[in-house]
Amino acid sequence: MSFVEYGDTIKDGDTAIVFLGHESMFPVKVQHGGVTQTKYGVIRHSTDLIGKKYGSKVTCSKGGWVFILHPTPELWTVNLPHRTQILYSTDISVITMMLELKPGSIVCESGTGSGSLSHALIRTVAPTGHLYTVEFHQQRAEKAKEEFREHGVEHLVTVTNQDVCKNGFGVSDIADAVFLDIPSPWEAIGHAKSALKAEGGRICSFSPCIEQVQRTCLAMEENGFTEINTLEILLRVYNVRTISLQIPDLGKAAEDNSSPGFDSSNPSTQVLAMASTTAGSAHPLCSMPSKPAVDGTLQPTRQTAMTQVRLVKHSRGLLLFTVL
C-alpha cells in the first residue's frame, strides 16, 4: 500500500479508511489478529480485511456494513490525527496549481504540521520528484516521519527538525517551489530564495492574518520577487433538497365554486380564481383588466392572473411560480 501507488488488495500493515458514511469515516492500521470497533459491530482484520479488495463491503458483527477504502491524500486530510491546524482540499488544490507542481518537481515546505499538505505535495511530484519539509517541533517531525514510512512514501520526502527562519531548508539552488505556513513567514523569505533554483521559481505563503500578509509581501519585494498576488479561497457548499409548499390563502374567491371551468382540486384554477377576485376589486397598487363572459360576468384574462401573481410576490414577499 502506498499513497502514490494504489494497491488492489488489503495487506497486513496497510493503512485503510473505514467508511461508514460521508460524514463518518476513520483510518485504521491493518494488523493480523487485530480488531476494530464500530457502531455496527466488530471488524476482524484477519478475516474481514486482509486479502479483500479495496472498496469491498464488509459486514460487521452486529449485521451492519461498512466500506474499506484505499487511502488518498484527500481522504487522509479529512481523517488524519490533528497535531496542528491543517489545510483542506480547497486551499491545497489552488496551492499545487499556482506553484505549477508536476511529477518530478522539487518542493520545499515549512512547517510540516499534521502532514495534510505534505501528502498532497508528495502525490503531485511523484514518482521522480521530492519534498523537503521542515518542522520546528521535534515530536511533530518524528511523527511525520513515522506516518510517511507507514504510508509508503518515505523515499519521496525528507523531514528536517529545525527552525527554518534561522537555519533555512538545508538545501540550496534545487527547488522549483517553496511553501511557507509558519507564524512569521517574512523571516524565511531569504532562505526560501536560497533554496530556489538559480533560474527562479515560485513561492507561496499561507497566513490567517492580513498583517502577516503585508509584512511577507514587503519581504518578497525586498528579495526581488515579482508578480505578487494575494488570494482568499472561499468554499460554498449547496444543500439541494426538494420541499413542498402550500398555495398561500389570498382571500375568498369572488366566483362560485360551481362556476364553469372551476375545479376546486386544481391548484392552478384556485390561483386563477383568487387572482380574479382581487382583480375585480379596487387594489391600491394596480387595477387588473378583465373581460366579460357570455353571461356578462367578469372573467380574468391571462394577463390578469399573471399580473396578480407578480403583485403577490411584491406585496407579500412570496415567490410563487405557476403556469396558467
CATH code of residue 56: 3.10.330.20
CA distances from 287 to 134, 223, 281 (A): 75, 72, 8
- Is the pLDDT at 303 greater than 90? The verdict is no
On whether both 56 and 101 belong to a single domain, the answer is no
Domains contained in the chain, number: 3
On whether both 153 and 191 belong to a single domain, the answer is yes
On whether both 191 and 86 belong to a single domain, the answer is yes
Q: Predicted confidence band at 264 (pLDDT cuts at 50, 70, 90)? A: low
On whether both 210 and 294 belong to a single domain, the answer is no
- Is the pLDDT at 241 greater than 50? The verdict is yes
**Residues 7-30: pLDDT tens digits?**
999 999 999 999 999 889 999 999
On whether both 102 and 218 belong to a single domain, the answer is yes
For 196-226, letters b (16+ CB in 10 Å) and e give beeeebbbbbebeeeebbebbbebbeeeebe
Q: Predicted confidence band at 249 (pLDDT cuts at 50, 70, 90)? A: confident
Question: Quick check: is 294 in a domain?
Answer: yes
Question: Quick check: is 10 in a domain?
Answer: no
The boundaries of the domain holding residue 116 are 76-222
Q: Predicted confidence band at 268 (pLDDT cuts at 50, 70, 90)? A: very low
On whether both 57 and 131 belong to a single domain, the answer is no
CA distances from 283 to 168, 288, 309 (A): 77, 8, 14
Assigned C-alpha cell, 292: 366579460
- Is the pLDDT at 223 greater than 70? The verdict is yes
Q: Which residue among 30, 46, 71 closes a domain?
A: 71
pLDDT value of residue 28: 97
Cα three-residue angle 275-251-294, rounded to 5 degrees: 45
Question: Quick check: is 2 in a domain?
Answer: no
Question: Quick check: is 8 in a domain?
Answer: no
Question: Quick check: is 236 in a domain?
Answer: no
Residue showing cell 528536517: 160
On whether both 205 and 85 belong to a single domain, the answer is yes
Report the distance separating Cα 5 and Cα 54, nearest Å. Answer: 13
Q: Predicted confidence band at 159 (pLDDT cuts at 50, 70, 90)? A: very high
Q: Predicted confidence band at 285 (pLDDT cuts at 50, 70, 90)? A: very low
- Is the pLDDT at 283 greater than 80? The verdict is no
On whether both 139 and 252 belong to a single domain, the answer is no
Question: Quick check: is 1 in a domain?
Answer: no
Q: What is the mean pLDDT of the chain?
A: 84
On whether both 145 and 53 belong to a single domain, the answer is no
On whether both 64 and 97 belong to a single domain, the answer is no
Residue showing cell 500493515: 13
Report the distance separating Cα 45 and Cα 217, nearest Å. Answer: 51
- CATH at 186: 3.40.50.150
On whether both 215 and 104 belong to a single domain, the answer is yes
On whether both 89 and 202 belong to a single domain, the answer is yes
Question: Quick check: is 228 in a domain?
Answer: no
- Is the pLDDT at 270 greater than 50? The verdict is no
pLDDT value of residue 243: 86
Question: Quick check: is 182 in a domain?
Answer: yes
* Closest C-alpha among 124, 90, 93 to residue 107: 124
**Residues 142-158: pLDDT tens digits?**
999 999 999 999 999 99
